[in-house]
Amino acid sequence: MTWADIAAGRKPTGASAASTGRSAPVVPAIPVIRQAPRPDPVASVTAGVASMSVNQTVSTPRAPAVGSKVPAIQSNAKQGTNCRHRGGNKNGIKSAKRKEVVPLEEFHLFPNVPPEIRLKVYQYAMSQQRRLIELEWGPNLSIPTELGNGSHHWVRVCPRSRQPPALMHVCHESREEAQKVYQLRCFDSQIAQRLPNNPEFHEHYIWYNPKTDIIFFGEETCVSTYISVFTPDIEDIPAIAIVNSSKGESCCDHDDYTYGVEGGVDTLQALHGFDSSETVHDFRYGGCPGLREVYIVVKSKLWPYKQGEIDASMTVRPATNDGLTKGQARFKASLERDIARVDAEITMPGVGESVWIDDKKPTFKFVSFVKVPWGLDPGEPDGMTVSRKDLGKLRRSDWAFMKRTQANTRCEIFVPDEEYPGEDRREIGFWGVRKSINAAKKAIEERLIFLNSGN
């Protein structure tokens, strides 16, 4: 038997071996090479996503769409164009077979998605949900269920804000992941030992995410509320929200010798805290620990809310007005001046050595409330304010101009009712995609310029 027979795959016969008088050559064993199965496009994509961090900032190239042209890789200009291509490497760049991208035709139920992808979804959901947790005065000894009627020094989380985050009751797996991020924290005043045996009079623990949740000092809070919450043993509270109103300072200003602070305490001083050398009771005025963000809620009629109604359905948007009253507008202007001094690292009077310096300064944002959009609605909220006189001009002919603008821009436009007779600054609300909102606002501004020019 010859090597040609072996290469052809013929088996040696006894006759051929005997006829030559020699033993047949040993045929080397050739391993069977099975072609590797083509990788599942879904698995390859999910594996790539699973290896990424939720907050990873590097960009990932997208696969080209079906039928699109992929730009050719440019060779190095220093290398010659006549270099011989020896199969796998040309100009130092490995050539790879490009596979056609096939659109997915099957919907995978979430329980059937690879576990690493499910965990990424849970982590992303927790990083995106900014819950508002509202605090109020309470409880009231005579009417424990009535909101906002308790002592200014007794604080509790509103019942609607105590609801656990959604991931806590989706499934066992999501709850396990959520417990790695959320903490059981108590923001209620520790007063159970001094109150009757009633569930409403006892402190409650809530699930709190310090990375995203915002502690909101609601309508029925004041400077005393801040001081009661910011105790020396409290853990960090990175984000808080306060109401843009001087009411919190006027009802409890602490301008009395018994409080141990000369000149009283205003809003920013309560958040910052006092140096021990500036107050007799240094344990009372430590400020908010770990504060990074301060949201100042400007009242608005576009998406109004009531005391005790804050829950997971509410979020914040940039403020588009200065308040509903002249007093609120004045308080906002005063806060803006104080914030400018903080940004310039000018020490606030009466607090002693400033701790808001360099990267320890919190950021301040003026916001208003809005409902969280549901479903696949791509719209977003916005607003603007005009004078009472200008709104009267836009109202002409039964809002004819506003109706045309809404139809042309496909942006929902609405004007809340007057709060009180003679209300001067009036709000106009918008809901739609950003391009439509910008077009509607521009049309209104140009219309008012035209009307106010004497035409």
Note whether residue 37 is domain-resident. Answer: no
On whether both 318 and 364 belong to a single domain, the answer is yes
On whether both 424 and 302 belong to a single domain, the answer is no
Task: With cut-offs at 50, 70 and 90, classify the pLDDT of residue 178.
Answer: very high
Q: CA–CA separation, 16 vs 248, rounded Å?
A: 109
- pLDDT tens-digit readout, 364-398: 999 999 988 877 788 999 999 999 999 999 999 99
Span of 102-111, 340-349, 439-448 with lowest mean pLDDT: 102-111
Note whether residue 344 is domain-resident. Answer: yes
Which pLDDT score is estimated for 274?
84
On whether both 363 and 393 belong to a single domain, the answer is no
CB-CB contact of 425 with 385 (8 Å): yes
Note whether residue 41 is domain-resident. Answer: no
On whether both 389 and 243 belong to a single domain, the answer is no
Note whether residue 75 is domain-resident. Answer: no
Percent pLDDT > 70 in the chain is: 67
- pLDDT tens-digit readout, 64-93: 333 333 333 233 344 444 444 444 444 544
CB-CB contact of 284 with 264 (8 Å): no
Tokens 């270099």 belong to residue: 83
On whether both 312 and 174 belong to a single domain, the answer is yes
| Burial of 382: CB neighbours in 10 Å, binned 0-12, 13-18, 19+ | buried
Domain endpoint, select from 342, 371, 400: 371
Domain endpoint, select from 340, 371, 402: 371
Task: With cut-offs at 50, 70 and 90, classify the pLDDT of residue 450.
Answer: very high
On whether both 264 and 388 belong to a single domain, the answer is no
On whether both 423 and 291 belong to a single domain, the answer is no
Note whether residue 23 is domain-resident. Answer: no
Task: Give the domain extent around 405.
Answer: 380-452
Which pLDDT score is estimated for 24?
45
On whether both 398 and 332 belong to a single domain, the answer is no
On whether both 355 and 389 belong to a single domain, the answer is no
Note whether residue 15 is domain-resident. Answer: no
On whether both 417 and 291 belong to a single domain, the answer is no
CB-CB contact of 166 with 121 (8 Å): no
Note whether residue 56 is domain-resident. Answer: no
Domain endpoint, select from 319, 354, 371: 371
Q: CA–CA separation, 35 vs 29, rounded Å?
A: 19
pTM here?
0.71
On whether both 317 and 426 belong to a single domain, the answer is no
Mean pLDDT over the full length of the chain: 77
**Is residue 229 predicted with pLDDT exceeding 50?**
yes
On whether both 367 and 386 belong to a single domain, the answer is no
Q: CA–CA separation, 423 vs 278, rounded Å?
A: 43
- Choose among 170, 177, 243, 169: nearest CA to 209: 177
Q: Report which of residues 41 and 183 the model is more confident about.
A: 183
Ranked by mean pLDDT, the top range of 1-10, 91-100, 206-215, 320-329 is 206-215
Note whether residue 26 is domain-resident. Answer: no
Report the CATH number at residue 394: 3.30.1370.10
User: What is the rounded average pLDDT of the residues 430-441?
Assistant: 96
| Total domain count, the chain | 2
